Structure 1
């Protein structure tokens, strides 16, 4: 497929012209357990010229990646007509407590409490506006955990999965098993959290997240069978069934040089969203003239004209343009 035609940053499309400067405003939200979550909001001061409600997009970060990493992407969506919200999960960045070792938090908390709080905030603060979500890596997974996920209109994910070790790319599996399933849990037991920042791997990470990652099972809910992150059988089943409440169509993008976002990993997560139309698009770096993309670089500004329009087009119409680079791995419709 040919690379998608896009506008350059110096010549924004007509829909983006006249937009206010992309200056985010800090915001602090409270999860249902009172935990303070820090984030940033880009909000237009004027109503959209076409009269239809302006959509708002929530960007869900990857595991232990600060929300500031997504600033340029969120500002770009703002210039193209969206209001935008980025935030940090508890324990990370703007939402890090003074004593991280005292924090009990797992991926479940990031979804059913933190993303849920941001989703409810968007529903109230941007009343009447459609809510879209962009989820990077675990940020696509936590969408399914939020009790209010039925509020979402459309979803775009990049490399979204929950790190089951059998899904790691074969070429990298041995090194990843050592890094994430031996070193990470060992250091977490020693420090009370995973000191990933000292290793230059990512942000320091709450111990519950590190434990869940290192124990990740083929069925994610089975990861939470044992202390200290245990949930009862009924609770685990309720978590899995919550994904079916999402009715938003999902475009799940992946790239061929992402050792986390393999076909098996992406498809494993999509299988939980049983009431959403899902489309899995897989992109080789060569298809956009790049040497590599990997797990993180989609949101780097160097891909503003080649990859970001894929997300924008999907959020705008719920469809892929014919010239979109990549190949369709799977396409499934929700039951009628």
Structure 2
């Protein structure tokens, strides 16, 4: 069995003086590729650490994981004072992480693994044209009407009842509502809400709150990975992400819980140790 990669702490210079706390995993030998893992909304980087260590050896890769601004190890103020938005995370922070990886390994192919929010930002990134492959996991243009019927009441409550009420009262979205324990800055919740209750998702913000993306930038391989029992980003929504990468070479993968040897996976659990059997699909193998 290969020795697990040991991570080194990395400081990622961000926009406007923001610093992101990263971990870099290196394989035992010389890396053959460089991979950045962009996490899902509100999911701490440490959740992805075991997967990243495994990928470093399985792919002979340098693998970077990190926390978005105002989250986890990158948080510099209490969440109630945080001003981060989804645009900060998807556009600015993801681009900063990709840029650092390029600068550290300028001669290596660049790859991206994006979980949920992590698969949405590449059309905005200057280095997007250097990415030879992206694996987008449970990522796509969400809308409340496209959830499975049984999940719609929960989604509507999150966007129209409990979510707005708690965020307004507390000044942030408490993590227990999301089921993962990480609080969200109010600005991130409100922007996320706007995207998910609007047809077209974040298209309405292009050229306004978001830069105008270059949809031709990503010409590499794009693997869209859907989870069969994911109620938040069901398979048809994941497949729709291809529309945001029209120049990419797209392949679709569907992961059934049985393939991971578990009864259920949902939106977040696929990177956990219990789903290790399907990690090769997430790693691009």
Say yes or no: TM over 0.5: yes
Structure 2 gaps, min length 5: none
Q: Compared with structure 1, are the counterparts of its residues 70 and 283 closer, same or farther at alpha carbon in structure 2 (3 Å cutoff)?
A: same
Pick from 32, 39, 50 the counterpart of residue 72 of structure 1: 50
Q: Aligned with 1:156: secondary structure?
A: strand
Return the offset for 1:258: 0.4
Conserved? CA contact 2:43–2:180, under 8 Å: no
Return the offset for 1:82: 1.0
Render the CA deviation track for 1:240-292: whole Å, top value 9, x for unaligned: x3333112211111111100121332133221111111122122223454311
Q: Which residue of 2 aligns with 1:219?
A: 200
Q: Which residue of 1 aligns with 2:208?
A: 235
Conserved? CA contact 2:42–2:180, under 8 Å: no
| CA RMSD, 1 decimal | 2.2
Conserved? CA contact 1:107–1:142, under 8 Å: no
Render the CA deviation track for 1:181-220: whole Å, top value 9, x for unaligned: 4212222222222122587543111222201222222223
- 5 Å matches for 1:76-115? 76-80=54-58, 81-115=60-94
Conserved? CA contact 2:172–2:185, under 8 Å: yes
Are 2:18 and 1:35 aligned? Answer: yes
Q: Aligned with 1:85: secondary structure?
A: strand
Conserved? CA contact 1:180–1:213, under 8 Å: no
Q: Which residue of 2 aligns with 1:155?
A: 134
Q: Aligned with 2:83: secondary structure?
A: coil
Q: Compared with structure 1, are the counterparts of its residues 190 and 25 closer, same or farther at alpha carbon in structure 2 (3 Å cutoff)?
A: same
Q: Which residue of 2 aligns with 1:323?
A: none
What TM-score does the superposition give when structure 1 sets the normalisation length?
A: 0.77
CA distance in 2, matches of 1:171, 1:302: 26
CA distance in 2, matches of 1:303, 1:42: 20
Q: Aligned with 1:79: secondary structure?
A: helix
Conserved? CA contact 1:162–1:220, under 8 Å: yes
Q: Compared with structure 1, are the counterparts of its residues 181 and 202 closer, same or farther at alpha carbon in structure 2 (3 Å cutoff)?
A: farther
What TM-score does the superposition give when structure 2 sets the normalisation length?
A: 0.90
Structure 1 gaps, min length 5: 1-11, 49-53, 225-232, 317-336
Conserved? CA contact 2:257–2:264, under 8 Å: yes
Conserved? CA contact 1:30–1:117, under 8 Å: yes
Q: Which residue of 1 aligns with 2:163?
A: 184
Conserved? CA contact 2:48–2:271, under 8 Å: yes
Q: Which residue of 1 aligns with 2:117?
A: 138
CA distance in 1, matches of 2:211, 2:216: 10
Render the CA deviation track for 1:77-107: whole Å, top value 9, x for unaligned: 1122111100011121011122323332222
Aligned length: 282
